[in-house]
């Protein structure tokens, strides 16, 4: 019979040193990461098998590429921020799934949210422009007739239109709308599937107007069109159901449309020079907000459909917070600003010298000065990215930074 001796403990029961604990935790994390990578790879392969086995591979190749991109971004985390993007003057900036695309004068770059460069395109277009969906975007030439449909990592399609391109829009499901000049009419609108099969074509008359803004519904099955009649300076708003192809006039407003988006499955937000209107997708106004006498400097709509307007009157600026129904939540006099970004119950102002964060009730939360004028900002629950010239860097709210320092 084995005797137990008091005062003696097995070697496995000895307390681990701090360094030993950290080593074991790191080892466990490496094992977890390997399991996650294996699971992601198996998911991609299984999805590919299912798509081809069910006979829908033709329309699903692009979806498979999107899934592959998502797995690649998850498996190859970046080195973080700051990073030099190569874009000195930001022309357009848009968020996609786990990534963003930044357009400059000579082309665009795509980065993951963790700091990995995913794609870089030097198009050579004289007047480049972007339209983005969830996992892909279209880069087109407003002084030519070529467009490129890109995933987050590679080119999917390049297409040459018969006439010059004036406007494009991309749905989250990959459906693409293209407006071109059209001899004998105001413009021609074509809509293509994610595999670039033409779904419909609409030749707009002068009375219909020339499309100035486009916006796909959240499910990608309908397209809102803001078409301006230059002779009367009136913008007509249409909804086109792709399965039917017949445009329906839902309303008209004076001035040119500055913004067009869906705030739900049945409501469309349109902002003209002095008025914001919420239209029913079936026709008619649901609500409106007038800002006559003030200049619209910028507009931001968050993921929930809440709106922030940055209005200017002389040297004074005003931030107006509107709910999904265009009800006024708050109006605040703010410092002179160039851009406004709304994110839930918070909004951000971009000035010549930095970024200011305010709650939607107008209370200033923090201000951060920057060495260069901020040209854009991306905000979500996890991350704040600010773009200054050639550099993108993460912003940490001073309160959170102080808490992190006090915990170390």
Mean pLDDT of 145-151: 97
Round to the nearest angstrom and report the end-to-end CA distance of the chain. Answer: 51
Mean pLDDT of 112-127: 94
Mean pLDDT of 135-154: 96
What is the pLDDT at residue 81? 96
Query: Are the C-beta atoms of 253 and 237 separated by less than 8 Å?
Result: yes
pLDDT interval class at 138 (50, 70, 90): very high
* Phi-psi domain of 209 (left: phi exceeds 0; alpha: psi -120 through 50; beta: other): left
On the question of pLDDT at 195 being above 70, the answer is yes
pLDDT interval class at 185 (50, 70, 90): very high
What are the pLDDT digits (tens) for 393-408?
999 888 655 544 555 5
What is the pLDDT at residue 54? 47
What is the pLDDT at residue 73? 84
On the question of pLDDT at 38 being above 90, the answer is no
Query: Are the C-beta atoms of 274 and 290 separated by less than 8 Å?
Result: yes
pLDDT interval class at 26 (50, 70, 90): low
Measured from the Cβ of residue 106, the count of other Cβ atoms closer than 10 Å reads: 15
The answer to which of 37-51, 131-145, 212-226, 368-382 has the lowest mean pLDDT is: 37-51
What is the pLDDT at residue 53? 52
On the question of pLDDT at 198 being above 90, the answer is yes
What is the pLDDT at residue 40? 60
Supply the mean pLDDT for the chain: 88
Query: Are the C-beta atoms of 372 and 380 separated by less than 8 Å?
Result: no
pTM of the model: 0.83
Chain centroid to CA 402: 30
pLDDT interval class at 3 (50, 70, 90): very low
On the question of pLDDT at 235 being above 80, the answer is yes
pLDDT interval class at 58 (50, 70, 90): very low
Higher pLDDT, 48 or 73: 73
User: Could you please report the per-residue DSSP string of 193-260?
Assistant: -TT--EEEEEEE-TTT-EEEEEEE-TTSSEEEEEEEETTTTEEEEEEEETTT--EEEEEEEES---EE
Distance CA 36, CA 26 (A): 15
Mean pLDDT of 226-240: 92
pLDDT interval class at 55 (50, 70, 90): very low
What is the pLDDT at residue 371? 92
On the question of pLDDT at 142 being above 80, the answer is yes
What is the pLDDT at residue 398? 81
What is the pLDDT at residue 19? 56
Q: Tell me the two tokens of residue 290.
A: 């007038």
Mean pLDDT of 181-202: 96
What are the pLDDT digits (tens) for 300-335?
999 999 999 999 998 899 999 999 999 999 999 999
Local structure of 374: helix, strand or coil:
coil
For CA atoms 200, 203, 205, 206, the dihedral sign is positive
Quote the percentage of the chain above a pLDDT of 70.
83
Consecutive H or E run containing 41: helix 18-53
Local structure of 197: helix, strand or coil:
coil
| Residue (of 220, 224, 225, 130) closest to 186 by Cα position | 225
What is the pLDDT at residue 184? 87
Upstream peptide bond of 82 is cis (omega within 30 degrees of 0): yes
Higher pLDDT, 13 or 368: 368
pLDDT interval class at 13 (50, 70, 90): low
On the question of pLDDT at 24 being above 90, the answer is no
For CA atoms 15, 19, 22, 28, the dihedral sign is negative
Mean pLDDT of 159-175: 97
On the question of pLDDT at 222 being above 60, the answer is yes
């Amino acid at each position: 019979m084995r005797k137990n001796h008091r005062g003696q403990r097995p070697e496995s029961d000895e307390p681990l040193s701090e360094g030993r604990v950290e080593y074991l935790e790191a080892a466990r994390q490496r094992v977890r990461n390997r399991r996650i990578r294996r699971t992601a790879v198996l998911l991609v392969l299984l999805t590919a098998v299912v798509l081809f086995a069910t006979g829908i591979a033709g329309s699903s190749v692009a979806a498979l590429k999107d899934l592959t991109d998502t797995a690649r971004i998850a498996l190859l985390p970046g080195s973080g921020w700051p990073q030099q993007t190569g874009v000195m003057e930001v022309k357009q900036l848009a968020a996609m799934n786990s990534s963003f695309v930044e357009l400059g004068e000579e082309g665009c770059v795509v980065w993951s949210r963790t700091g990995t460069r995913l794609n870089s395109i030097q198009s050579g277009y004289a007047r480049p422009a972007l339209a983005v969906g969830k996992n892909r975007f279209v880069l087109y030439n407003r002084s030519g007739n070529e467009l490129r449909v890109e995933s987050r990592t590679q080119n999917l399609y390049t297409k040459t239109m018969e006439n010059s391109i004036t406007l494009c829009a991309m749905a989250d499901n990959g459906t693409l709308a293209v407006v071109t000049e059209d001899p004998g009419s105001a413009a021609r609108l074509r809509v293509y599937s994610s595999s670039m099969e033409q779904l419909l074509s609409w030749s707009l008359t002068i009375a219909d107007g020339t499309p100035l803004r486009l916006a796909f519904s959240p499910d990608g099955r309908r397209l809102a069109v803001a078409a301006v009649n230059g002779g009367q300076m009136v913008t007509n708003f249409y909804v086109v159901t792709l399965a039917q192809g017949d445009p329906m006039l839902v309303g008209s407003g004076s001035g040119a449309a500055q913004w067009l988006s869906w705030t739900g499955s049945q409501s469309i937000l349109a902002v003209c020079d002095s008025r914001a209107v919420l239209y029913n997708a079936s026709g008619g106004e649901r609500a409106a907000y007038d800002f006559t006498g003030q200049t619209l400097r910028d507009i931001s709509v968050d993921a929930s459909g809440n709106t922030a307007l940055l209005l200017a009157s002389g040297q004074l600026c005003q931030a107006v917070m509107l709910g999904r129904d265009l009800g006024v939540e708050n109006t605040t006099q703010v410092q002179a600003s160039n851009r406004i970004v709304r994110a839930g119950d918070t909004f951000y102002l971009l000035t010549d010298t930095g970024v200011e964060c305010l709650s939607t009730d107008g209370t200033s939360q923090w201000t951060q000065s920057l060495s260069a004028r901020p040209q854009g900002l991306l905000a979500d629950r996890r991350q704040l990215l600010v773009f200054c010239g050639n550099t993108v860097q993460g912003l940490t709210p001073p309160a959170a930074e102080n808490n992190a320092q006090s915990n170390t």
